[in-house]
Copies of this chain bind each other. A is one copy, B any other.
Amino acid sequence: MDDDDPLTRILSARYVAQGRASLAAREKLLSRLVSNRRLLPEGLPDQAVEHLLTTLSTMDSNNFLDNVGVGEREGRVFSSIVRRRCFGMSHGIGRSGDVTAEQPKACGSSAAHKLCAALARDALRIAGMRDVGKRVLVLPLATGMTMTLVVSSMRSRCASEGREGANCVIWCRLDQKTCVKAATCAGLKVVVIDPVLNGDQLETNVAAIERAIDEVGRERLVAVVTSTSCFAPRACDDVEAVARLCRDKDVGHVINNAYGVQSRELCARVNKAWTVGRVDAVVQSTDKNFLVPVGGALVCAGKNDESAVDAVAAAYPGRASASATLDLFITLLSMGEKTWTRLLDERESLYAYMRAELEKVAAEEGERVLASPKNPISMAMTLTCASTTGASPTMFGSMLFSRCVSGTRVIAPGETKTVGGIEFKGFGASHSAYPTTYFTAAAAIGTTRDDVDRFTSVLRKTFKDFKKKTRVAAAAANET
């Protein structure tokens, strides 16, 4: 309590003292974030988050009351709506030398970015990546473009090490166009390794990867790319085995852990992989794991070798949007360790609940939920009723969509598609000849029991209507 506090001219010293104590506690909070670089034990209320943001924003030069900007980029913002959206932090992130470098004109934005990276790192650690390296990049790019940037910078490293001709990645097939395009956009060729079918589940063909490494040759190989999170019945790749293989063969290894952070099981596997073998970089989505809008990704590696992560940061040309950083920073401050842990817990129990509820529906409808024990997020239910009646399985998907169920994916065998110049048989199933038609659903972070209940309710109705329609169609077909 300060007798000279000017506020005591208009208010009682005792109350001012208590108010000042609250301001001091906020300042201490910032110091604590800077020192500990950990999620707060408890999340902050919105008022505290906004206070922190306006405080940091005040440290950016465009908000100095006496600043005179005569450069070509001074953080000026025309619209008051836009100004508010970014809390007055308009300078973006990074400098030409490094996308994580501080900006002279934007001290507050720079602090937000650095703290966000520290909090993100802690969140990964809490989720199970116990040996994550010191540096976690928060990039304002979604997973695909981030993968492009990662493999590009790995190619550059190959070149700088004398392997100028390195232009190829070996990739464990996962049927999402973006995965292929991430490599082709970087000008790389893709060697596709189909998974092997084991029971219902699609698993990593480690032997085939080894053969491919030998075939392509270390000179031409930029990296092997594996994935953890994917649609069932594809399993999480055997990232530990591939990591060992890459270490032994001295070739790069990138893990696409797109939405794997939300699963402690997948995080543990990533952590094991970089402990027992080689993992140059792991890429994960911010939106899919942390409930923020699309547009950010985290790049990290194990603490024993972070050089590839450093290289990505240094390769990035120029500045970038601070938007993904800001969304993630706000979210992690709001969550704190307690809520982040609770969300992880809830997702796990939701997986069990969704699976049990779908099994009930499957039993009623004469279908079954595919066995995919190594996929802790997604699950798949057969749609044999479509195959037997000859009805179009995509109609089933359309019916769900028009009933406001989003996120399911109906996969029927037989489609062939060309992506990035590569032809994929059975596209969608991540396998050229998956035996059954099915649809998928995911127990993703943020999904609630109420969502599951409404989903299974719509599902039951849809099965009923679908069967009626196909019977009518079949009857009509028989008559002709």
Selected contact of A187 from candidates B49, B59, B159, B324, CB within 8 Å: B159
B447–A82 touching, CB < 8 Å? no
Stretch at the interface among A13-21, A246-254, A360-368: A13-21
Q: Count this chain's copies in the assembly.
A: 4
B327–A82 touching, CB < 8 Å? yes
Chain A interface, number of residues (Cβ within 8 angstroms): 150
B288–A65 touching, CB < 8 Å? no
B76–A406 touching, CB < 8 Å? no
Chain B residues with Cβ below 8 Å from A396 are none
A73–B294 touching, CB < 8 Å? yes
Distance (Å) between the CB of A277 and the closest chain B CB? 26
Chain B residues with Cβ below 8 Å from A454 are 68
Supposing A11-B102, A54-B47, A55-B51 touch, asked if A187 and B156 sit within 8 A by C-beta, the answer is: yes
Query: Per-residue 0/1 for A79-100: is the Cβ within 8 Å of any B Cβ (1 yes, 0 no)?
Result: 1111111111111110011000
Selected contact of A114 from candidates B11, B68, B176, CB within 8 Å: B11
Chain B residues with Cβ below 8 Å from A377 are 72
Chain B residues with Cβ below 8 Å from A90 are 287, 292-294
Bound form: Cα–Cα A317–B296 in Å = 14
With an 8 A cutoff between CB atoms, is A127 at the interface? Answer: no
B407–A69 touching, CB < 8 Å? yes
B293–A82 touching, CB < 8 Å? yes
With an 8 A cutoff between CB atoms, is A26 at the interface? Answer: yes
Distance (Å) between the CB of A161 and the closest chain B CB? 13
Chain B residues with Cβ below 8 Å from A287 are 73, 90, 92
Distance (Å) between the CB of A256 and the closest chain B CB? 11
Supposing A177-B96, A404-B66 touch, asked if A46 and B10 sit within 8 A by C-beta, the answer is: no
With an 8 A cutoff between CB atoms, is A455 at the interface? Answer: yes
A147–B317 touching, CB < 8 Å? yes
With an 8 A cutoff between CB atoms, is A185 at the interface? Answer: yes
A321–B142 touching, CB < 8 Å? yes
Query: Per-residue 0/1 for A292-321: is the Cβ within 8 Å of any B Cβ (1 yes, 0 no)?
Result: 111110000000000000000001111111
Stretch at the interface among A104-112, A195-203, A266-274, A385-393: A104-112
Distance (Å) between the CB of A424 and the closest chain B CB? 13
Supposing A186-B187, A458-B68 touch, asked if A15 and B406 sit within 8 A by C-beta, the answer is: no
Supposing A152-B185, A287-B90 touch, asked if A406 and B46 sit within 8 A by C-beta, the answer is: no
| Residue with the greatest number of chain B CB neighbours at <10 A, chosen from A55, A114, A335 | A55
Bound form: Cα–Cα A261–B174 in Å = 42
Selected contact of A321 from candidates B45, B294, B406, CB within 8 Å: B294
Stretch at the interface among A28-36, A205-213, A464-472: A28-36
Distance (Å) between the CB of A271 and the closest chain B CB? 21
Supposing A145-B318, A293-B92 touch, asked if A51 and B46 sit within 8 A by C-beta, the answer is: no
With an 8 A cutoff between CB atoms, is A192 at the interface? Answer: no
**27 A-B interface contacts by CB (under 8 A):** A6-B35, A12-B102, A18-B107, A18-B401, A19-B60, A51-B57, A54-B55, A70-B442, A71-B407, A73-B294, A76-B445, A77-B293, A78-B335, A86-B293, A91-B293, A92-B294, A92-B295, A96-B177, A96-B178, A142-B320, A142-B321, A147-B317, A156-B185, A178-B317, A182-B318, A295-B320, A321-B321
